[in-house]
Structure 1
Amino acid sequence: MVRIALDPTPYHSTHEFLDFFDVAAANGYEWIQLTPHPDWIPFFGHPRVDDDYVRKVRERSAATGVQITSLLPVQRLSWPEEPLRRAGVRNLTRTIEIAQELGVSVINTEFSGRPERAEESEAGFYRSMEELIPVLERAGVTLNIDPHPDDFVEDGLAGWQIIRGLNSDAVGFVYVASHTFHMGDRAESLIPALGDRLGAVYCADTFDHTRSHGLRYITNPPGNAVRVHQHQEIGDGDVDWDQLFGALGRSGFLAREDAILCSNVFGENERADEVSAAQLARIRELIAAHS
C-alpha cells in the first residue's frame, strides 16, 4: 500500500527540526518527508549535519514511530554556471550518504535550472547526472525529479522525456499536483507513461492560472517573468482530484509499497495541525475511492 507522508514545512517557524517527528505523529502520520531546513539541508546549501545529528534523527524517528519516506533537498543540479552546478553535485552526493545512514532509499528533488537559459541548463543537468547516477546506483537510492515552475523544463511530458533520456532506473519522476497547470494538466496521459518510474505524488491544491484568458492573476507591469501557483488544502483549488487519483489507481501506483503520497500544504501555517489532519483524511478517502 502507498505510503502517506507529511511535509513539515508549515512548522518551520514554530518547531525545532527534530520535533517534526512529534508533529507528524500527533496528526496521525506514520511517515514524514524531510524537506529543506537551515538545521538540516538548506536550500542550495551543503548539509549542516554530522554523524551525531544523523543519529539523533534516527532516534527521534524510532521514538515516535514516524518513519522517513524520503529526503527532499533542492540543489542547483542544472545550473548553467559551472561553479554552482558543481557545488550542487557535491551537496547532493553528501545527501545521498546521509540517506544511506538513515536507511532511506528515496530522494525527491527538482531540476533547478533556468528557463531563460534552457539549453545550457539541460546540458548542465546531464553533466550532473553522469556524476550522480553511479553514486545513486552504488547506494541503492532512487532520485525522483519534479519539473518545477520557473525551471528550464516545466511541462510534465517534456520533463519525463529528459529523465527517460538518462536511461537509468535510478532516476524517476515526482508528480506535484499543485504544479498541474504548469505541467500541462495531463494527468490521464502522463501517469500511464511514467509507469513504475513515478516515485512520488505531492498532494496540495492550486488554482488554474491559465483560466479567464490568462487574466486570473495580474502582475504589473504586464509581461513579468513570474510563475504563480499555490500549495493549498485539497478541495480549495482547481485540481481534479478524482481524475488524478483515478489515473493513479489504474496505473497501480496506489497499491505499490514503494510509492509515496506527500501532503505539502504551504499557505495555511496558522492552522497547520487542522490542515495536516484533514489532508491525511482526504488522501485516505481518495485512495479508498480509487484503489
Structure 2
Amino acid sequence: MVKIAYDPTPLHHDFALLDFPDAVARLGYDQLHLTPHPDFAPFFRHPKADDELVAALKKRAADAGVSIAALLPVQRISWPGEAERQAAVRNFARVIELAAELEVPVINTEFSGRPEESEASEASFYRSMEELLPLLHREGIRLNIDPHPDDFVEDGLEAWRIIRGLNDPSVGFVYVGSHTFHYGDRATSLIPELGDRLGAVYAADTFDHVRSHGLRYITNPPGNAVRVHQHLDIGDGDVDWQELFGALRTSGFLDRDDALIVSNVFAEDERAEESARSQLRKLRELIGA
C-alpha cells in the first residue's frame, strides 16, 4: 500500500538534521522525505555530507523507526549554460552515492532549466541524463521528476512527453498537488496517462492562479514573468482533492507498495506540528475513502 512521508522543510529552523527522524516520528510519520538541507545536499551546491554524517543519520533514522523514503535534490541539470550543467551533474552524482549509502531507493527532483530558453534547457536535460542514468542503474535507484513552476517545462502532459522520451522505465513523474494549475489542471487525464510511471505525489494545496480572469494574484507591474503558488494545508486552496485521489485510486497508485505520498506544506511554520498532524489525518482519510 502507498506510503505517507513527511517533508521536514518546516523543521529546518528548530531542529538539526540528525534530529529530523525523532521529530518526524513524534509527528506520527514513519517515512521521511529528505529535501535540500545545508548540512546534507543544499540547493544547487555540492552535497556537504561525509561518510560519518551519513552513518549517523542512518542510525538515528533506524533508532527512531523512521525510513528515509526518498531524497529530493535540486540541481541545475537542465541549465542552458554548460558550466552550470556540468557542475549540477557532478553534484547529482554525489547525491546518488549518498542515496546508495543510506539505502534510499528513490530520488525525486525537478528539471531545473529556464523557461525563456526551453529548447536549450531540454537539450541540456537529455545530455545530463546520458551521464546520470548509468549511475542510477548501477545503484538500482528510481528517479522521479516534477515540472516545477518557472521551469523550462511546466505543463504536466508536455513534461511527461519529455520523460517518456528518455525511453527508460526507471524514470517517472512527481505529481505535486500545489502545482496542479501550472500543470494545466489535468489530473483526471494525466494520471491515467502516467500509469505506473507516477512515482510520487506531493500533498499541499494552492489557489488557482488563473481564476478571476487572471486576477487571482496581482503583481506589479502587470505582466511580470512570475509564477505564484502556495504549499498550504489540504483544503485551504482550490485543488480538488476528491478528484485527484479518485484518479489515483482508479489508476491503482494507492495500492502500490512502491508509491509515495509526501506532505509538503511550507506556509504554516508557526503551526508546523498542528499542520503535520492534520495533513496525516486528511491523507489517511483520502486514501481510505
TM-score (norm. length: structure 1): 0.99
| Aligned twin of 2:236 | 236
Q: Distance in 2 between matches of 1:68 and 1:179?
A: 24
Deviates more, 1:227-236 or 1:14-23: 14-23
| Aligned twin of 2:113 | 113
Answering whether residue 89 of structure 2 is matched by residue 76 of structure 1, we say no
Q: Distance in 1 between matches of 2:15 and 2:58?
A: 18
Q: Distance in 1 between matches of 2:285 and 2:14?
A: 29
Q: Distance in 1 between matches of 2:219 and 2:100?
A: 44
1:84-99 aligned within 5 A: 84-99=84-99
1:180-259 aligned within 5 A: 180-259=180-259
Answering whether residue 21 of structure 2 is matched by residue 48 of structure 1, we say no
Q: Distance in 1 between matches of 2:3 and 2:220?
A: 42
How many residue pairs get aligned? The number is 289
Letter in 2 for 1:132: L
1:30-179 aligned within 5 A: 30-179=30-179
Please report how far the alpha carbon of residue 139 of structure 1 lies from its aligned counterpart in structure 2 after TM superposition. Answer: 0.9
Please report how far the alpha carbon of residue 164 of structure 1 lies from its aligned counterpart in structure 2 after TM superposition. Answer: 0.1
Q: Distance in 1 between matches of 2:176 and 2:211?
A: 19
Q: Distance in 2 between matches of 1:203 and 1:119?
A: 30
Q: Secondary structure at the match of 1:181?
A: helix
* Superposition misfits of 4+ residues, deviation over 3 angstroms: none
TM-score (norm. length: structure 2): 0.99
Letter in 1 for 2:69: T
Q: Secondary structure at the match of 1:5?
A: strand
- Unpaired runs of 5+ residues, structure 2, are none
Q: Distance in 2 between matches of 1:163 and 1:262?
A: 21
* Percent identical residues: 68
Letter in 2 for 1:134: P
Please report how far the alpha carbon of residue 127 of structure 1 lies from its aligned counterpart in structure 2 after TM superposition. Answer: 0.3
Letter in 1 for 2:236: D
- Unpaired runs of 5+ residues, structure 1, are none
| Aligned twin of 1:277 | 277
String of CA shifts for 1:113-156, please: whole Å, max 9, x gaps.
Answer: 00000010000000000111111111100110000000000000
Please report how far the alpha carbon of residue 18 of structure 1 lies from its aligned counterpart in structure 2 after TM superposition. Answer: 1.1
Q: Secondary structure at the match of 1:182?
A: helix
Q: Distance in 2 between matches of 1:137 and 1:172?
A: 14
RMSD value over aligned CA atoms? 0.5
Q: Distance in 2 between matches of 1:273 and 1:20?
A: 13
Q: Secondary structure at the match of 1:161?
A: helix
String of CA shifts for 1:45-81, please: whole Å, max 9, x gaps.
Answer: 1110111100001101011001010000000010000
Please report how far the alpha carbon of residue 198 of structure 1 lies from its aligned counterpart in structure 2 after TM superposition. Answer: 0.4
Q: Distance in 1 between matches of 2:51 and 2:39?
A: 14
Letter in 2 for 1:14: D
Q: Distance in 2 between matches of 1:225 and 1:22?
A: 41
| Aligned twin of 1:262 | 262
Q: Distance in 2 between matches of 1:235 and 1:20?
A: 26
Letter in 2 for 1:78: S
